[in-house]
Structure 1
Amino acid sequence: MLSSITRFLRDEEGATAIEYGIIAGLISIAIVSVLPGVGTRLVTVFERIRDALPTAPAPAG
């Protein structure tokens, strides 16, 4: 019984999955914190493009 408990405590197989989960969580937090700023900049870029384009005349008929 003691050897089973010792073997269980030394088993590191699940540690890798937990580490990958922590890394994925940190990456998702970084993405969520950066996206609002990127979105604001993208809106500004598209507004500049819209303002730079000449107004097209309405199609006839």
Structure 2
Amino acid sequence: MSFMKLMVNAQIRISKFMRDKEGASGIEYAIIAAMVAVIIIGFSSSIQGGITAIFTKIQAALPSGS
């Protein structure tokens, strides 16, 4: 196959790939899920401290069982 045919064939395939929108929503959902995971990991230590403080206050406010 000549170089010119190879280039034309590659251009046609790239053009078809760029116009294909079927997999776009799946990729978008994967990107959103990854961003949410990064945010959760980033805030997990500060969230953990707040949740621990809330449950400690609840535990202190409850009457003892004995």
TM-score by length of 1: 0.58
Partner of 1:44: 53
Taking the TM superposition and a 5 Å limit, the aligned residue runs for 1:1-61 are: 5=13, 6-51=15-60
Q: Which moved more, 1:34-43 or 1:47-56?
A: 47-56
Q: Which structure 1 residue ranges, 5 or more long, are not aligned?
A: none
Q: Which structure 2 residue ranges, 5 or more long, are not aligned?
A: 1-8
Cα 1:46–1:7 shift into 2, 3 Å: closer
Q: What is the distance in 2 between the residues matched to 1:48 and 1:27? A: 29
Q: How many matched pairs?
A: 57
Q: CA deviation at 1:48?
A: 3.6
